[in-house]
Amino acid sequence: MFFLASKGYRCIAHDRRGHGRSSQPWNGNEMDTYADDLLVLFETLNLKDVTMVGHSTGGGEVIRFCARHGTSRVKKAVLISAVPPVMVKKDSNPLGLPIEVFDSFRENMLKDRSQFFFDVPSGPFFGFNRPGAKVSQGLIQSWWLQGMMCGFKNAYDCVKAFSETDFTEDMKGLDIPVLLLHGDDDQVVPIDAAAKAGVKLLKKGTLKIYPGGPHALPNICEDEVNKDLLEFLES
């Protein structure tokens, strides 16, 4: 955001309900309500000609928003390491991750939430568990802080929202240009069931694969992501 704002773009980040500085309601921690919350933001700020950018779960929000509320205010979209079309493994999604993976997330969160929010960034999220990785303790602690700022119920419910929501039909109906950025070493949202499958559903989708890229592309490959975002905005 700092990079793009420095180039003259207006950049707006929202804190999803239960996250960041937003309130922590018990209910509504699912994609439809996330999208409805975004609509209120769009209407309140009267946003138009927007390029929406969503990372991971945020990519699901982008897709669900456009499917649920249309693209009259949205001209382009970017999905970075995003969860669509669907993460969990099932008959229609054999490349997905078993439900047991997400059950373990919830189990570990309930058992020791603070440790869970250290374990994820210390390992797969940033790719710090790979040989030769340059580990940033600052990024790990920042991720822990963001996790601990979430409402407990909100974070717990979000696991179901990002893993089980099926965006297949949403993606098929999208009529705007969509850029997908995804690392081929994403250990959180594996590329085959995500971007490689998703780009085939989009009418105007373009996929760029980051060789060796982890899930946290905006943190680990920031210069390349900035370059790709700027080029897409200016195209």
Each residue's pLDDT tens digit, 189-201: 999 999 999 999 9
Average pLDDT value over all residues in the chain? 97
CB distance 101 to 154 below 8 Å: no
Task: Determine the Cα–Cα distance for residues 62 and 79; give it in Å rounded to an integer.
Answer: 8
Q: pLDDT digits over 125-144, tens only?
A: 999 999 999 999 999 999 99
Helices (H) and strands (E) in the chain, counts: 10, 4
The Cβ of residue 132 has, within 10 Å, a number of other Cβ atoms equal to 4
Tokens matching residue 53? 């950018």
| Residue 91 and residue 141 in contact, taking contact as beta carbons nearer than 8 Å | no
Query: Using an 8 Å Cβ cutoff, are 68 and 165 in contact?
Result: no
- Tokens representing 18 are 């239960």
Q: What is the pTM of this model?
A: 0.96
Active site residues: 56, 186, 215
Please provide the distance, in angstroms rounded to a whole number, between the alpha carbons at the two ends of the chain.
Answer: 18
Whether a cis peptide bond, with omega within 30° of 0, leads into 85 is yes
**pLDDT (mean) for 78-82:** 98
- Measuring CA to CA, how many Å separate 83 from each of 4, 142, 214? 24, 22, 14
| H-run or E-run covering 207 | strand 205-210
Name 2's Cβ contacts closer than 8 Å, sequence gap at least 6. Answer: none
Name the residue with tokens 């933001």: 41
Residue 46 falls in which region: left (phi positive, over 0), alpha (psi -120 to 50) or beta: left
What structural domains and CATH numbers belong to the chain? 25-234 (3.40.50.1820)
Q: What is the CA radius of gyration of the chain?
A: 17
Q: Confidence class of residue 42 from pLDDT cuts 50, 70 and 90?
A: very high
Q: Which residues pair with 179 in a beta bridge?
A: 78, 206
Residues 5-26: tens digit of each pLDDT = 999 999 999 999 999 999 999 9
115 is written with which tokens? 């440790």
What is the C-alpha separation between 69 and 93, in angstroms, rounded?
A: 26
Query: Could you identify the residue written with the tokens 């109906």?
Result: 173
Tokens of residue 164, six digits: 């089980």
